[in-house]
């Protein structure tokens, strides 16, 4: 979240930014509720002080008439305190809700627009393959090669689930091991994270764990949720901590399952592996200082590009438009791979600089060289989202005889150089 004092002092800037982000946040209301909350708190503190004075007087010697007067005053003060506390709780709750709706500021170079179509294409990398035969999409390829089972997964778990089998299972493991090895060699600490996290962690990272518009699965009768990304569990590791400056940057790479309801996701372009309820993902997460955050964001982008260059998958780099940014993101890049089965590009990775938006929610600080505590800057980036990487490999490396070549960098992890019909 943004600092409410910053919002008050820069109200027009924040209001203009809300328009850029095309959200329904109301900075005026947030400021109004903040002032009202403080006003009630002052009034409450004054009455509590009067109650304490009243209690001290009750300890002194006095006649019964004076004591009865103090008793009545005490009762009246107690009732006022109770009413004000209830009012304060209600106003504080409304204030927190409105403050959480206000998105992060937006990088000056970010394209202004409402949808992903307004994003700016920075560059194209790799050659889009041309085929001399009728191509298949990944669903047909997977069925012919017996490596993904959608039908039985639908019987067991429902739509948008899948089994990986044979070389399909090995391909997931190869992609994970390739990414984890590469990131570990670059100084990232490897983690395999829990698949569940508490609601306050999800809210701190910027997800909405409850409500009609949530994309999160919640566990009944608990405050636990299935995570949508390892960003949640990696960020939660440092909640309420102060990090010495000489430990920055903290670079982590986490493997987790990811769970998303994908409410409203439909249509031919979303079929197969493109949008699913559960998948594996290798996620980069960095905690650093404000001064180093821009350079770190570019490093994450370069790593994502390097991964897909090594996989020999053609892709393009996008600077994501303001209206398509998540609330925590200050600036975001996406990589979109060419997917022949869709005959279009599809998102495969993203990386965001979330500045101190998440760290304020999670209370993550670092101690600078002057000994002052500052909110840390937090960044995230997808190394490999397995299903979409598999789509890209199957469709771009398909051959006329129905087989699929394995990218050279994955062969040591796969043990095979191609997937053939059984």
Confirm if 277 and 306 have CB atoms less than 8 A apart: no
At 380, phi and psi to the nearest 5? Answer: -140, 160
Enzyme catalytic residues: 260, 275, 347, 350, 388
At 164, phi and psi to the nearest 5? Answer: -95, 135
Give how far Cα 270 sits from Cα of 185, 277, 384, Å.
35, 12, 19
Tokens of 338: 């060419």
Q: For the chain, give percent helix, strand, coil, nearest 5.
A: 45, 20, 35
Task: Count Cβ neighbours within 10 Å for each residue of 123-132 and write b for 16 or more, e otherwise.
Answer: eeebeeeeee
Tokens of 365: 């600080």
Cα 117 vs. chain centroid, distance in angstroms? 21
Strands 148-149 and 331-339: unpaired
E-strand ranges in 260-406 read 278-288, 315-319, 331-339, 344-353, 365-367, 373-375, 377-385, 404-405
Confirm if 300 and 351 have CB atoms less than 8 A apart: yes
Of 104, 129, 125, the residue nearest 293 (C-alpha): 104
Confirm if 14 and 102 have CB atoms less than 8 A apart: yes
For tokens 């394995």, what's the residue? 406
What is the rounded (10 degree) CA torsion for 110, 111, 114, 117?
A: -120
Tokens of 403: 């087989």
3-class SS of residue 75: helix
3-class SS of residue 257: strand
What whole-number distance in Å separates Cα of residue 418 and Cα of residue 171? Answer: 11
Give how far Cα 237 sits from Cα of 170, 232, 287, 360, 381, Å.
30, 9, 11, 14, 17
């Amino acid at each position: 979240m943004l600092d409410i004092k910053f919002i008050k002092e820069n109200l027009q800037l924040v209001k203009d930014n809300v328009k850029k982000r095309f959200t329904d946040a109301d900075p005026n209301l947030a400021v109004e509720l903040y002032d009202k909350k403080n006003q009630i708190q002052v009034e409450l503190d004054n009455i509590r002080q009067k109650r304490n004075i009243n209690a001290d007087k009750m300890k002194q010697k006095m006649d019964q008439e004076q004591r009865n007067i103090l008793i009545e005053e005490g009762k009246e003060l107690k009732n006022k305190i109770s009413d004000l506390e209830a009012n304060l709780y209600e106003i504080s709750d409304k204030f927190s809700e409105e403050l959480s709706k206000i998105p992060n500021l937006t990088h000056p170079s970010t394209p202004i627009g409402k949808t992903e179509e307004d994003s700016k294409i920075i560059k194209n990398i790799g050659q889009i393959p041309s085929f001399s035969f009728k191509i298949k999409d990944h669903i047909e390829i997977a069925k012919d090669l017996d490596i993904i089972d959608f039908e039985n997964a639908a019987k067991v778990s429902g739509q948008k689930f899948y089994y990986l089998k044979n070389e399909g299972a090995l391909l997931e493991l190869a992609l994970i091991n390739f990414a984890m090895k590469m990131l570990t060699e670059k100084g990232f600490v490897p983690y395999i994270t829990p698949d569940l996290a508490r609601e306050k962690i999800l809210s701190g990272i910027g997800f909405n764990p409850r409500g009609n518009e949530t994309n999160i699965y919640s566990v009944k009768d608990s405050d636990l949720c299935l995570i949508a990304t390892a960003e949640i569990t990696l960020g939660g590791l440092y909640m309420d901590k102060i990090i010495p400056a000489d430990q920055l940057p903290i670079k982590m790479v986490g493997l987790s399952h990811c769970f998303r309801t994908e409410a409203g996701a439909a249509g031919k372009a979303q079929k197969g592996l493109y949008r699913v309820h559960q998948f594996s993902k290798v996620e980069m997460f960095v905690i650093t200082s404000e001064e180093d955050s821009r350079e770190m964001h570019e490093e994450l982008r370069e790593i994502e590009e390097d991964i897909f260059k090594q996989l020999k998958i053609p892709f393009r780099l996008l600077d994501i438009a303001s209206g398509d940014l998540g609330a925590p993101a200050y600036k975001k890049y996406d990589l979109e791979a060419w997917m022949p089965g869709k005959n279009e590009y599809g998102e495969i990775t993203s990386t965001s600089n979330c500045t101190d938006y998440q760290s304020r929610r999670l209370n993550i600080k670092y101690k600078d060289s002057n000994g002052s505590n500052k909110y840390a800057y937090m960044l995230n980036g997808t190394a490999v989202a397995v299903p979409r990487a598999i789509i890209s490999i199957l469709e771009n490396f398909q051959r006329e005889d129905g087989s699929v070549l394995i990218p050279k960098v994955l062969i040591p992890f796969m043990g095979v150089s191609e997937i053939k019909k059984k």
